[in-house]
Structure 1
Amino acid sequence: MKIQSRFKEYEVIFEDNKVFLRDLVSEPNSEIVVDKNVYELYKDCFEEIPSERLFVVEATEKNKVVDTALDICEKITEIPAKRNATLISIGGGIIQDITGFVANVTYRGINWIFVPTTLLAACDSCIGGKTSLNYKKYKNLLGTFYPPDEIHICSEMFHTLTERDFKSGLGEVIKFNIMAGQNGLKNIEDNIEGLLERKPQIVDQFVHSSLSFKKKFIEVDEFDKGERIKLNFAHTFGHAIEVITEYEIPHGTAVAIGMIMANSISEKRGLISSDVVKRSEKVLLEVIDIDSKLLDKPLEDYMKAIRKDKKQVSESLTAVLISNYGENGELSVVHDVTEQEIDYAINYFKKLYRA
C-alpha cells in the first residue's frame, strides 16, 4: 500500500513472518530504537547490533516526552553518517511518536523506518505522519507531521500482545467500521468474534481495511485542517479519559468508551437512531474491560482535560459526532457541546457498563 504525502510517497509493506527483522536491523548507518518489551520478546533478532546503535525504551506515557527524544538525538549524532542516517523504530504508538519526532528534527529530517508491533499502531497511527509528545500532564501537546519512509507490518507479532493491548487496538478497528456506516457496522458485528480470537486472516483483513479507510482522509487533508479532523471521532472523550485515569485506561479502550459517550449525545440530539447506538454498544463493550471506578472523577476534572485538548479552538466545546447514519456514516465537527451533555455522556456510559 502506498501513501501520498506532501513530504514524500511512502509505503506500507505487509510481512509474512518476523524473519524480515534480521535483515532490517542490519541496515548500515542506522540507529535502532526498540520497545523494551519487544526487545525481550525478540532478543535473538537484535543480538548482533552493537550497543552504540541500539536504544531500548520502556514505552510508557511518562517517557513520551522531549527528554527521551533528545537522548535518542544525541545517540544519532554519534553515527558517522549525518543526513543519510536511518532511524529504525520497532514498537507501538509511543515508540512511533517519540522516534517520528526525532527523525523530523534531527538534521532537519532523516530516513525513518517504522515497524508497528501493536494492533493499535498497525491499524491506525502508523500512517498519517503525526508525531506527538506529552507535556506535563497533558497528552500530545507537542508534535509535528513527519511520515516514515517505510512501514513494515507483521501480524505474527500481535500474538504476543496482552489481552488489554490487543483489545485496545480493536477499539480503533471498531471506530473505523462504525464511521463507515451500516455496511461497516455489519462487517464488524459479523467478525468481532474472529478478531477477539486473533484469527490471522481476519486480523490481516481488518488491519488492511482500516488503513485503506484512513488513507482516504489523510491524502486529502494531511495536516488536519478539515476532513481529517473527523478521524478524531470519540477522541474528545477518549483523551480526557486517558488523562484523568493517568493512562491506566489505554488509548484504544478510551476511544471505545468515548464512542459510546459521543453516540449518547448524538442520540439525545436526535441525530442517530437507538438501533445504531445499541448495535454499536454491543460490539464496543466486547473490547472494554476496565475498573469503572477509575472514571469516578469530578466533572471538573473531565472538563479541564477536555479544554486542554488541542482539538478545542475556543471556549465552546468541540467534538466529532455522528450526524447521520445510512449506507455511509456522516460525521460533523460541532463546536457547541455543553457541559451538561458531557456530564450526561459520562453518566450514561457508567450506568451502561455497570448494568
Structure 2
Amino acid sequence: MIIHSKFKDYEVHMESNFDFLRELSQTPNAEFVIDEKVYGLYKTYFKEIPEERLFLVEATEEHKVIETALAICEKMTEIPAKRNAHLVSVGGGIIQDITGFVANVLYRGIPWTFVPTTLLASCDSCIGGKTSLNYKKYKNLLGTFYPPDALHICPGFFQTLSERDFESGLGEVVKFNIMAGEHGLKNIEDNIDRLLARDEDCLKQFVYSSLEFKKGFIEVDEFDRGERIKLNFAHTFGHAIETVTGYEIPHGTAVAIGMIMANRVAERRGMLDSEIARRSEKVLLRVIHIGIDLNEYPLERFISAMRKDKKQTSEHLTAVLMTNVAKDLKIVHDVQIEEVADARDYFEQLYHAQA
C-alpha cells in the first residue's frame, strides 16, 4: 500500500514473519530506537544491531517528552553521515511519537523507518504523519506532521500484547469498520471471534482494511483541517474518558466506549437508525472490559475534559456523529450537557447489564 503525502510517498509493507527485522538491522548509517520491552521479547532478531547504534526507551507517557527526543538527537550526532542518517524505530504509539518528532526536526528532516508493534499503532496511528510530545502538565502539546519513509507491519507482534492493549487496538479496528457502513459492520460481526482469538491472517486483513479506510481521509486532508476530522468520531467522548480516569482506560477502549455514547446522541437526534446502533453496541461490548464505573466521576469533569479537547472550536461542545450513510459523518457543534449525561448513563446501564 502506498500512502501519498505532501512530504513524500511512503509504503506500508505487510510482513508474515520476523525475518525482515534482520534485514532492517543492516540499514546503513542508522540509529535504532526500540521499546525496551519489545527488545527484551524479540532480542534474538536485534542481535546484529551494533550496541553504539541502539537506544532503548521505556515506552511510558513520562518519557514521551522533549528531553527524550533531544537525547536521541544528541546520540545521532555521532553518526558521520548527518543528513543521510537513518532512524529506525520499533514499538507502539509512544515510540512513534518520539521518533517521528526526532526524524522531523533533526537536520530539518531525515529518513525514518517505523515498525509498529501494537495493534493500535498498526491499524491507525502509523499512517497520517502525526507526532505528539507531552510538555509539563500538557498532554500532546508539542507536535508535528512527518510520516515515515517506510512502515513494516507484522501481526506476530500482537501475540505478546496484554489483553488490555490488544482490546484497545481492537477498539479502533471496530471503529473503522462501523464507520465504513453496512459492509464493514457485517464484516466485523462475522469475524469478531477470529479477531479476539488473535488469528494472524484475520488480523492482517483487518489491519490492512483499516489503513485503507484511513488512507482515503488523510490523502485529501493531511493536515486535519476538514475531512480528516471525521476520523475523530467518538474521540471527544473517548478523550474525556481517558482524562477523567487518569488513563486507567486505554485509548482504543475509551474510543469504543465513546462510540456507544456518540451513537446514543445520534440515535436520539434521529440521525442514526436504532438497528445500526444496537448491532454496533453488540460488537463493541465484545472488546470493552473495564473495572471502572464511569458514574463515579463527576459529570463536570467529563464536560471540562471535553471542552479542553483540541478539536473544540468554541465554548460549545463539538462531536463527530454517525449517520445511516457509510462515511457520511457529521461534525456538530451543539452537543448539550444533558446529552452527555444521558449517553454516559446509557453506556453504564448497557455495560453492567451484559457483564
Measured against the shorter chain, the TM-score band is over 0.9
* Residue of structure 2 equivalent to 1:76: 76
Summarize the alignment of residues 330-345 of structure 1 with structure 2, pairs less than 5 Å apart.
330-345=328-343
User: The residue matched to 1:351 in structure 2 has which SS?
Assistant: helix
The residue that corresponds to 1:110 in the other structure is 110
What is the alpha-carbon distance in structure 1 between the residues aligned to residue 137 and residue 186 of structure 2? 38
Q: Percent identity?
A: 69
How far apart, in 1, do the equivalents of 2:69 and 2:246 lie?
21
Please tell me whether the aligned partners of residues 241 and 295 of structure 1 are also in contact (alpha carbons under 8 angstroms).
no
TM-score, length-scaled by structure 2: 0.96
**1:84 Cα shift?**
0.9
* Partner residue, 2:229: 229
Classify the secondary structure of the residue corresponding to 1:292: coil
Aligned to 2:260: 260
- Counterpart of 1:204 in structure 2: which amino acid? K
Give the Å deviation of 1:25: 1.9
**Structure-1 residue corresponding to 2:241:** 241
User: Partner of 1:225: helix, strand, or coil?
Assistant: coil
Matched AA of 1:311: K
Deviations 1:209-235 (A, max 9, x none): 111111111111101111110000011
Please state if 1:290 is matched with 2:290: yes
Supply the distance in 1 between the matched residues of 2:319 and 2:328 (Cα, whole angstroms).
14
TM-score, normalised with respect to structure 1: 0.96
Q: Provide the residue aligned with 2:173 in structure 1.
A: 173
- Secondary structure of the 1:114 match is strand
Partner of 1:325: 324
Paired residue for 1:8? 8
| Alpha-carbon distance in structure 1 between the residues aligned to 2:26 and 2:302 | 46
- Give the direction of change, closer, same or farther, for the CA distance of 1:134–1:73 in structure 2 (3 Å limit): same
For 1:180-226, what per-residue CA distance to the aligned partner results, in whole angstroms no more than 9, with x for missing partners? 11111111111101110111221111011111111111111101111
User: Structure 2: which 5+ runs fail to align?
Assistant: none
C-alpha distance in structure 1 between counterparts of 2:67 and 2:333, whole Å: 35
The whole-number CA distance in structure 1 between the counterparts of 2:277 and 2:140 is 29
Q: Output the CA distance in 2 between the equivalents of 1:285 and 1:270.
A: 23
Distance 1:329 1:272 in 2: 13
Check whether the contact 2:35–2:59 (CA below 8 A) recurs between aligned residues: yes
Q: What amino acid does structure 2 have at the position aligned with 1:281? A: E
Q: Which amino acid aligns with 1:308?
A: K
Task: Please tell me the residue identity of whatever aligns with 1:228.
Answer: R
* CA positional deviation for 1:137: 4.1
Verify the 8 A CA contact 1:61 1:247 in the aligned structure 2. no
Match of 1:156 in 2: 156
Shift of 1:7: 0.4
Distance across 1 between alignment mates of 2:102 and 2:16: 29
Deviation at 1:138, TM superposition (A): 4.1
Contact 1:178 1:329 in 2 (8 A): no
Report the AA paired with residue 336 of structure 2: T
Q: Is 2:347 aligned against 1:349?
A: yes
How far off is 1:17 after superposition?
Answer: 0.5
* Whole-angstrom CA distance in 2 between matches of 1:270 and 1:136: 42
Partner of 1:23: 23
Q: Deviations along 1:135-174, whole A, 9 cap, x unmatched? A: 3444322211000000001111111111111111110010
Residue 303 of structure 1, CA deviation: 1.9
Rounded to whole Å, the distance in 2 between the matches of 1:303 and 1:52 is 48
Contact 1:114–1:151 at 8 Å: present in 2 too? yes
Q: Secondary structure at the match of 1:170?
A: helix
The residue type equivalent to 2:296 in the other structure is: D
What SS does the aligned partner of 1:325 have? Answer: coil
